[in-house]
Structure 1
Amino acid sequence: MYFCKRVRELFVIVLVIESSLCDVNEPRCYSRFDYDKKMMEKLVRTEIKMEELLGKLEVMEKRHNSVETKVDNSVKEIHDLGKRHNSVETELDYSKAAVETFENMTKSDIGGLEKSIEMTDQRLDALFTNNTESKLQSPVAFFARLSTSFTSSAGQTLVFDSVTTDVGGGYNPGTGVFTAPADGLYVFSITVMVYMTTSATSAQFILKKNNNTVMWLYASETDSVYETASGTGILSLEVGDTVHVTNRESGRYIYSEYTFFSV
């Protein structure tokens, strides 16, 4: 708008100057008619110039309006770009926070996986070591039974003197005591057949480790019949540990054919 105002002012100044020039440089005339004619021609030329100037002024105004519109659109686009920029910065901040959170979680997960892998490696090493050691160790096993039947005494150790299998040399058929020749887990099985009477209706037997009770076996019957007490126990033994079976009560008739001890 300021530009249009200046153009109009310039146009008025041009008209004033031109009018002044017309007064100064009036054409030389020889009659009133000739003067009027020449002044008329001059006015016509002036009007034509004014129309040309007005046309140019209109074109300039249109260009100016177009430029103003373009400037307004550019300002609006810049404003929109500023909003988008702020939105992108906000999204970028959120993305950075999400990436940082993910990195922390990933580091934590990786740390946990590394610890789990380390523990797994240790377990595998232990299993490999135990497997290697077990392969290097000689097997231990025995199976023995009573050769003859007998009547028990209280606290008596049952001596399974008829040995069928003895691998590793841990069982002593003279004392009925097994001595562990190597560290490890041992599975013991005991079966004792007892003849029950009306005066001896029950019988109890004890599996002992280093003279400490670890398992009880029990048989009970009121009629005159044979009853069997049996059981299986798993013991963790170290080299030199001893295991044997004892009878609790006295006066129990133990039948040999179905009484055995094994590991």
Structure 2
Amino acid sequence: MVKSVAERIVGLVLIISVIRETHCQSGDPPSELDLIKSQLKMLTNQTARLQTEIQSKNDLTQFLQTDVQRLKSSLNAEQQKNADLERRLVVLESSLKSNQATFSETFSTLNSTRETVTSLEKELRQTRDDVHMTSQWIQTFNATCMNNFQNVTGKGQDARVHFSYRSRHISLPANPTKPLIFASLISKSGSDYNTNTGIFTAPYSGVYLFAVTIAAESTDYFNCYILINDRNYLVEVSAYSMYSSASTVVLSEVKAGDQISVGQCSGPGQIGSYKSSFSGFLLYTN
């Protein structure tokens, strides 16, 4: 549009110049032409100013377009960063949920373990009480039988036979061909029980009473037997759970020289230290 105005102005200037020459040749005064020329000159000046302003605005527009492009690039970069942050946030939220689930499971396991420990402690206290009561019962039983022994047998001092020992430390599985060793003395009347071999050798033929208590320290079972001459099973004694105990008493007719022991043990369990005992005494001779 500006170019069209400028072309029209230039055309008017040429026409005025032609008219001026014509009037100058005829000698007429150029008053109106001068006025038109002055107006055209003013229009030309205004047109030049407009072109300058338009050029300035074009430059400003170009600058703004460049700035807008830069802002778009910056906006795209920020959007990319936001997208990356959102992805990281999703990963963190997923990790947080997983950690919360793991913590919840661990806390539940901890509570369960505490309850198990409390239950085991209660069982341990009960088992200790049971073992203590059993030990007291055996000692009382031995003492009572020995006090009545003279009246029952009438054999005098030489016929008194009794022994009672407890274990020091025995671990299973033991050698099934060797007896258990009960080496810690509780009471005895002679040297008929050998603490090196774990074997009691009957000094007289008669009826004997033998008592065995086995206490467990592991969750696995084990079995042992009261044996005569390492082959004839009199009775089995077994324990099946942690801190449990098993006791048995048996009467048997024994010949002089027979060997009685606790052996032929089997199973993966472990016998409790100082909690197991082997006792026996002669009731009467044949």
TM-score (norm 1): 0.50
TM-score (norm 2): 0.46
Give the structure with the higher percent helix: 2
